[in-house]
Structure 1
Amino acid sequence: MSMITRLHYFNCVVEKGSITEASRVFDVQPSSISRQLIALEKELGISLLNRTTRNIGLTEAGLTYYQYSQRIVSELDEAHRAVNDLQQNPKGSLKISMTVGFGESCVLPLIPAFIMQYPDIKIELELTERVIDLVEENVDIAIRSGRLPDSNLIARKLADNNFLLCSSPQYQAKHGSPCGPEDLTDFDCISYGYTGWRDWYLMDNKARKLSIKDAVTVNSVNGQKQLLLNHAGLALMPLWAVREELKNGSLIHLLDQHIFSPYESLSSTYALYLNRELISPKIRVFLDYLKDNLD
């Protein structure tokens, strides 16, 4: 029997003045309540109730204990109401850490509509490529690309990265197009400066590292895109970062019969959160919102 149940029994007996009346409230045998009250007194090492054949009264210690017990049960009931309210109306602070490229391209444009839908959730956003500790930094959700670390985190896939070889039409008009991956040494290649993603791989059958002409290195996805749009060369870009530019023709997809990657395996972008038995409503609604609204 839990301590909280004993407190409920104790409070009810005090308020009803009778074990029999309390047993009717909880629909249990009077003997069951009596046993729990005796167990409570043994645990405390002091008598809480003066029992007679006619009524029950509080000892001095019982009165003090009852005052605390009332507050404990009342606050617990309030906690249950607050949690149920959160379940129906998610609220509170939601801290999200995300990679710069995916955050700027895919997540930030969705935030205003999310806030309108859930005005009681306060969003705190961090855009960074560094490795974070969700517990130490009090982060609710981390959005990261690449291989998943071995951890006790739950991962929900948001998007496949699908790297494409891109250039601007102007660069292509001036320099031509590579006929195959082996021709990349003849073109200006824009590399991603993040550790572990600087090389280019052909993924058609198995990963094969390519030789390229390194023209410039930049450590952000949007930096690569700006260089592409200003005709600096070729770059491997995740589809989610260049979808609109491919649609409007400001960028073009080269060697589309081949599969490329800046790493020796294909990769995706994930939302990571702590492995808990019950997911917080504010986390749940944000993840569901991303799933419903990401292209």
Structure 2
Amino acid sequence: MKVLAPLNNLEHIDDYIEAGAGEFYIGFFDKEWSDTFGDFADINRMSGFKEISNPYDLDTVLQIVKAIKAKGKEVYITFNSSIYSDEQLAFMKRYFEHVKEAGVDGVIVSCIEQVILAREIGVPSVISTISGVYNKDIAIFYQEKGTKRIILPRDLAIAEIEAIKKAAPEAEYEIFMMRNGCSFSDSNCLGLHRKERCSICSSIKHAGKELRLKNNDFHSKNTAELNDMIYNNSFHNYACGLCGIYDFVEMGIAACKIVGRSDEWQYICKDIKIIKDNIDLAKRCGSKEEYLDKMHFPEDRVMMCKLGLSCYYPEVRF
């Protein structure tokens, strides 16, 4: 199982690789796309943050792809907005042609129309969580369409992931591992990730708090406020799936993902290293129990692990 890291800082590619990254994903911002389709038409899920999350243009990304491939690592480019029009898909065709020529390992896509387009161009497709592969039937559908990899939703349990993989074993599978959790399903979220807070999660998080409680006493208000603070700080900002690594190594998951195209490179490197260390440990352990006894924990173990509110896969410990 490889560590898949977001790449938003060219100066530190070698630092990521030294920490243990085996794969990268990257998006780009294209002014021509925005001029053609408007500011609210996204190329990928993070287009609303423009250069903050996608700091490079297409030409630069193509050079990055070649540089990463020269270092013997894999790289994927994101084209996973919630929706595309026929005109946008036609425009996207030239993007796919360019990234194929650069040698990209796959395009991360969100709909069957993109899978078909990628197949026509001859570039591998990776199914985003936007497609909502929640069961074996959806996985089999995309597997039969020739997709290279399926990214499974962050709210699936380990047993559900194993069942899907067994039912459609020809595709590779990618799961979430660290950072940036979300309480909502990508495939059922019609909001956009933007500074204007068009997404449900961001709108709720930044809204003025109006607590409507049956008992309007100090204890009730304090408990509700604490609950809100813990969930926002512990899961949305920093989720963790380290406890599940032994299971994923055993079932042959291809990659585990670090979310955070807007995060600082130092924190990404820390996550890469602890994941890689735990993957190597899991391969040496003879049982899940041995792995859990010896595993490397995140720095804020008491807050994150004891409450269980930061867990991608809480069933391992609870």
Asked if these proteins are the same fold (TM beyond 0.5), I'd say: no
Larger radius of gyration: 1
Greater fraction strand:
1
* TM-score when normalising by structure 2: 0.19
